Amino acid sequence: MKYRSANNYMKEVFGRKIYKISINGGFTCPNRDGTLGTGGCIFCSGEGSGDFSEDASLSVSEQIENGKKRVEAKLPKNADKSLPQYMAYFQAFTNTYAPVEKLRKLFTEAVMHPDVVGISIATRPDCLPEDVIELLDELNKIKPVWVELGLQTVHQRTAEYIRRGYELPVYADTLKRLVGHVSHIITHVILGLPGETKEDMLETVRYVGDIAMIAPKNLIGIKLQLLHVIRGTDLEKDYQAGKFECLTLEEYADIIHDAIGILPDDIVVHRITGDGAKRTLVAPLWSADKKKVLNTLNKILI
The pLDDT value given to residue 141: 98
Pairing of β 18-23 and β 85-90 = parallel
Predicted local distance difference test score (pLDDT) of residue 74: 87
Sheet holding 268-271, edge to edge: 4-5, 268-271, 220-226, 184-191, 145-152, 116-123, 85-90, 18-23
pTM of the model: 0.94
Query: What pLDDT score does 278 carry?
Result: 86
Element (H, E) at 238: helix 234-240
Residue 53: the pLDDT is 66
Q: What is the pLDDT of residue 47?
A: 61
Task: Return all residues near 153 (Cβ < 8 A) that are at least 6 apart.
Answer: 159, 162, 164, 189, 190, 193, 196, 200, 201, 204
pLDDT at 50: 47
Domain that holds residue 297: 4-301
pLDDT at 124 (0 to 100): 98
The DSSP code for 79 is S
Mean pLDDT by 10 residues, the chain (302 residues): 90 94 95 92 74 81 95 80 87 96 98 98 98 98 98 98 97 96 97 98 97 83 96 96 97 97 94 85 95 93 82
User: Domain of 177: which CATH number?
Assistant: 3.20.20.70
The total domain count for the chain is 1
C-beta separation of 214 from 176 below 8 A: yes
